[in-house]
Amino acid sequence: MINVCIAGSKFFGYQVFERLKNEVNVCKVIAPAEDDRLAVAAKAHGTDVSVVHAKTIGEEYMPEGVDLIVAAYLHSKISHAALAKSKHGAIGYHPSLLPRHRGIASVEWTIKCKDPVAGGSIYILDDGWDHGEVVTQRWCFVDKDWDATALWRERLHPMGVDMIVEAVQLIQNNGYDKLPRHKQDERYATLAPRLKEATS
């Protein structure tokens, strides 16, 4: 089994943990609060938990021997030094078809832009925000009656959990070197900042 650190939060992080805890060795969980659903589940399972409510997760929170970091609804940046402590760095899920809608409000911008198609991307974390190489992508149609909450709940959330689990399984079964990957095409990049920042 590979050693995995899950850094994330809320119901999304909880579901990723529940799906992976018996398939890999989840050696560490990093969550933003003691009562976060991911942290509570990990502690109940006997997994080491660090509570980190900061913009950047430093290397001091990363245990030795980590093979892979999984970002699961993570709103902090993982420092370069922390990434370097992981044998295979980190993968994460972004609820857009990268490089479109890079940023914290990607689902909201999908609705705001009236995109007929949405999707999710598994990508390799690097020093930028949502800039790393893309491993895999999936798409879905956007129902005209959905708001951002409905799009996330009905499609992008379950899609993301499945995609993360499948990527980790691929790494464990076939090796990190077998991961497909391609660079994002900067010609199609758009930003998705918080809407209140974008409209002020």
Render pLDDT for 118-159 as a digit per residue (tens, 0 to 9). 999 999 999 888 999 999 999 999 999 999 999 999 999 999
What long-range pairs does 52-61 form, CB within 8 A, spacing at least 24?
Answer: 52/76, 57/7, 57/30, 57/82, 58/82, 59/84, 59/85, 61/28, 61/30
Closest C-alpha to 7, from 81, 58, 45: 58
For residue 19, what pLDDT is reported? 98
Higher pLDDT, 196 or 126: 126
Lowest mean pLDDT among 34-38, 69-73, 129-133, 149-153: 129-133
Indicate the pLDDT class of residue 58, thresholds 50, 70 and 90.
very high
Backbone φ and ψ of 7, nearest 5°: -115, 115
For residue 128, what pLDDT is reported? 83
Reported pTM = 0.95
Whether residue 29 contacts residue 38, with contact meaning beta carbons closer than 8 Å, is answered with: yes
